[in-house]
Amino acid sequence: MMRWTTGIVAVLFMTVFLVPITQAADEVAGRVVYHAQKTEAIEVGDVPGHFVGVVQQPGLFFFTKGPASGQVATRMATVYFDAVNGKGTYTAYTVVIFQDGSTQNYKSSGTMTPVDGGKRTLFEGPYEMTGGTGKYAGTKGKGTGKGERLGSPKTGNDSYFDFTGTEWK
């Protein structure tokens, strides 16, 4: 009787704790292209060039790998930043909307570093898919990305961000 009890407990343990850990994950990749639609920045005043602010960025997601491979979706991001002379950190909240109405929600954060005297800015950091709706309901994911803003903030805020990661249900 003790052997049966031990066996049943072991099977229950594996079912409850190990099976969820072994969920199949899909590799994903793509490029996001966007433009700063609205920017609000306030100078902090503690050191010269220190600004905090928020930016709205509509754009497009191009999925090149994973379940959404080949699809193009619209996106809207709200980005908070804290930078001194263009160098600093950001946190972005992004909603991606597919043609069928399904959505994906992301949170990303990272660093931004100006180059070429501020004519470009490099972005880099991790992201997390926090959920979605429709066919992406219950989907989670994470990964990293790198990109850049082309041109200075005064002449334009066109940017791209290349990402790779995994997602699972």
| Domain assignment of residue 142, yes or no | yes
pLDDT surpasses 70 at 51: yes
Name the residue among 83, 155, 79 with its Cα closest to residue 114: 83
Domain of 64: which CATH number? 2.40.350.10
Residues 123-139 pLDDT 10s: 999 999 999 999 999 99
pTM of the model: 0.84
SS3 of residue 56 by DSSP: strand
Within a domain: residue 131? yes
Q: Has residue 42 been placed in a domain?
A: yes
Q: Is residue 76 part of a domain?
A: yes
Calculate what percentage of the chain has a pLDDT beyond 90.
78
The domain containing residue 62 runs over which residues?
Answer: 24-168
Which of 39-43, 82-86, 109-113, 152-156 has the least mean pLDDT? 152-156
Domain count, the chain: 1
Whole-number Å distance between alpha carbons of 137 and 142: 16
- The residues, ordered by sequence, that sit 6+ positions from 27 with a Cβ below 8 Å of its Cβ are 65, 66, 164, 165, 166
Whether residue 19 lies inside any domain: the answer is no
In a domain, 13, yes or no: no
Rounded to whole angstroms, the Cα distance separating 103 from 112 reads: 27
